Homo-oligomer: A and B are copies of this chain.
Amino acid sequence: MFLALAGGVGGAKLARGLVRVLPPEELLVVVNTGDDFEHLGLHISPDLDTVMYTIAECHNPETGWGQAGETWQFMDALGKLGGETWFQLGDRDLATHVERTRRLGTGEPLSCITADFCERLGIDHAIVPASDQPVRTWVDTDVGKLSFQDYFVREKAKPKVVKVTFDCIDDARPHQKFLDAIESHALQGIIVCPSNPFLSVMPILSVPGVRAALEKRRAPFVAVSPIVGGKALKGPAADILRSFDIPVSPAGVAEVYGDLLDGLVIDSVDADLAPSIQDMGPSVHVADTVMKSLEDSVSLALTARSFAESVVPRNSYSSAQ
C-alpha cells in the first residue's frame, strides 16, 4: 500500500490520479489541517475539502476551492448584512462547513465526519486529516504574526514570511490510520504530493510521533517537487523558500525535506538539477509534473508509484534490517 501526504490544490491533483491507479485498500491520503480555521463561527478545513471535492470530481477547477457550479448568493447577502467577506464561501461549499461544524459540536471527530462525507460523495478511498486534534499554522512575517488564512487569503500571501509555527501541535496526535500506515509492513511508499513544503507538508510531519515513526520507516519517502522552473505552480512556496535563503528549485525542496527524502520527482524543465540533487542523497526521477488534466494526474500518479517502488529508503533503520 501507499501513503500520500497532501495539502491543497497540488496535493489534490496528484491524489486524484492516485485514486485512479490504486485500489482503495492500497492507498491512504493524509491531508494537512494546519490551514483549518474558525470563520463566521464555522469550522473550515480548506485542504480536506479541496482533496475531497477533487477526488469526488465535484471540485471547482477555476478557483481551486469550493465546488463545481458554485454560486455566491450567501456571500452577497452576508455583505449586505455587514458580515466578513474576505474569505469567499460558495453556496454549495457552505453546506460542508455548516454540517461539519454541527457534527464537530456533538463531539464527533473530524476524521469520522470526513469519512462519512467522502462516502456520501462516492469516494471509496480513505482520506484522513493528519490529526483529529486542532493544528493551526501561524506565520511570523514582516508585518507581524498572522494566522495562516489572514496571511494567505486576507493579505494575499504578500507579507514576507520569516518563521512558520504550528499552534496546539504539542497536543495533537497523528490519526491512527496514518501512524499504522507508516508502521505497516505492507507500506510500499510514502508519496509527498506537490504541495507547499512549509505550509502544507510540514504541519503533517510535525504532528508529534510522525517523525519518530518515519525514522523507522521501511518504505521510501518520495516527494514530487512543487517547484518547477524556479517557480511555485501555485501559492507562496517560492517566496517562502527565497525568504529562508533556500534555492527556489527542486534542490531547495530536497533541502527542506532533508534526511527524510529518499527520492524526488522533478519536472523535465529542471532535469539539469538531477545530478546535484542526487549528490545531496535522494534518488531523482525526471518527469512531466504539471497537472492540467485528469490524464496528467493519472500519468504522474503512475510515475510516482513506480518511482516509489524503485527507491530504497536511506534511513538507518531500514538499512539495518
Interface of A toward B, CB cutoff 8 Å: 40-42, 67, 69-71, 73-78, 80-83, 90-96, 98-99, 101-102, 105, 116-117, 120-121
Contact = CB atoms under 8 A, between A and B. Distances in A.
A78 B101 contact: no
- Counting chain B CB atoms within 10 Å of each CB, the highest count among A75, A90, A95 belongs to A95
A216 B91 CA distance: 50
Nearest to A89: B98
A301 B74 CA distance: 33
Contact of A41 (B75, B76, B83, B102): B102
Given A73-B73, A77-B67, A80-B120, A94 B94 contact: yes
Given A41-B105, A71-B73, A105-B41, A81 B94 contact: no
A73 B41 CA distance: 20
Contact of A82 (B73, B91, B116): B116
6 contacts: A42-B98, A69-B73, A77-B91, A81-B96, A83-B95, A83-B98
A63 to B, nearest CB: 15
Contact of A91 (B81, B91, B99): B91
A83 to B, nearest CB: 4
B102 A74 contact: no
Contacts of A99: 40, 78, 81-83
A267 B224 CA distance: 76
A92 B76 contact: yes
Nearest to A106: B41
A95 B82 contact: no
A40 B102 contact: yes
Nearest to A97: B98
Which 6 A-B pairs give the minimum distances between C-beta atoms?
A77-B95, A73-B91, A41-B102, A78-B95, A77-B92, A91-B91
Given A73-B92, A77-B92, 15 more contacts: A40-B98, A41-B101, A41-B105, A71-B73, A73-B90, A74-B74, A74-B91, A74-B94, A76-B95, A77-B91, A80-B95, A81-B99, A81-B117, A81-B120, A83-B95
Given A81-B99, A99-B40, A99-B81, A92 B117 contact: no
